[in-house]
């Protein structure tokens, strides 16, 4: 099996099909109780899951805990697994459920008050107004602003953006993960991009 990630190459459609089939085969072994196959699946997908959860929650430390729950769910659900879709579709559907549950839990019991978030925002704004940053600092500031803008999106829009932007997932697969139609995905992304453009207008002007 070619390690495309280590080569830093974008796999072709044929290679994507081959990779998916390999992971489906691993999952079928997991269904039969193969721990080594499970460990290989975790190794292959943990960075994507952790990255997606971190983008959704805005907290890399908590992302690892949620990602661990995702893979625990994968192991516990293995007996019911059927390869009716891409493996990543099934995996990110589990991720979606756990992340949305966490997002809703936070809404009921926010860990950071709105006042604290406002203070943080004004502090960042004050810092950037008084310091002339170099290119790397500007890039870091922009990335932080993008992350915050994405975090402020409604949960479905946010996940659609994360899967499209960072996982390069096709519309059809995003639709399956979110259990909506492809036109609905495109509509979500259009609204999300409009809101992101408004949130990042300052940087676009610059």
Q: Which fold has domain 1-111?
A: Rna Polymerase Sigma Factor; Chain: A (1.10.1740)
Please choose, from the candidates 177, 185, 181, the residue with its C-alpha nearest in 3D space to the C-alpha of residue 93: 177
Q: Which fold has domain 116-206?
A: Arc Repressor Mutant, subunit A (1.10.10)
**Which two three-digit tokens encode residue 166?**
């960072």
**Which two three-digit tokens encode residue 85?**
């879709």
pLDDT per residue of the chain (206 residues) written in tens, 0 to 9: 444 444 455 568 889 899 999 999 999 999 999 999 999 999 999 999 999 999 998 888 889 999 999 999 999 999 999 999 999 999 999 999 999 999 888 877 755 444 444 444 344 344 444 444 566 777 788 788 888 888 889 999 999 999 999 999 999 999 999 999 999 999 999 999 999 888 888 776 65
Predicted pLDDT of residue 118:
42
- 8 backbone φψ class: left, alpha, beta (φ>0; ψ -120 to 50): left
Q: What's the pTM?
A: 0.77
Predicted pLDDT of residue 141:
81
2 SS3 class? coil
- 169 backbone φψ class: left, alpha, beta (φ>0; ψ -120 to 50): beta
The full set of domain ranges for the chain reads 1-111, 116-206
């Amino acid at each position: 099996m070619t390690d495309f990630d280590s080569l830093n190459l974008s796999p072709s459609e044929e290679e994507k099909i081959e990779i998916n089939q390999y992971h489906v085969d691993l999952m079928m072994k997991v269904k039969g109780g193969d721990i080594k196959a499970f460990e290989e699946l975790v190794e292959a997908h943990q960075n994507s899951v952790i990255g997606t959860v971190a983008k959704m929650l805005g907290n890399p430390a908590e992302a690892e805990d949620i990602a661990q729950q995702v893979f625990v769910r994968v192991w516990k659900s293995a007996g019911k697994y059927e390869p009716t879709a891409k493996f990543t579709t099934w995996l990110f559907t589990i991720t979606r459920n756990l992340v949305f549950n966490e997002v809703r839990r936070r809404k009921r019991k926010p860990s950071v008050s709105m006042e604290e978030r406002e203070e943080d925002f004004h502090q960042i704004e004050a810092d950037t107004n008084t310091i002339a940053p170099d290119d790397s600092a500007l890039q870091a500031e922009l990335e932080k602003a993008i992350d915050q803008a994405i975090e402020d999106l409604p949960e479905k829009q946010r996940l659609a953006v994360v899967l499209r932007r960072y996982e390069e997932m096709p519309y059809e697969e995003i639709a399956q993960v979110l259990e909506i139609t492809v036109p609905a995905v495109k509509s979500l992304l259009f609204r999300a991009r409009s809101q992101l453009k408004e949130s990042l207008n300052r940087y676009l002007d610059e």
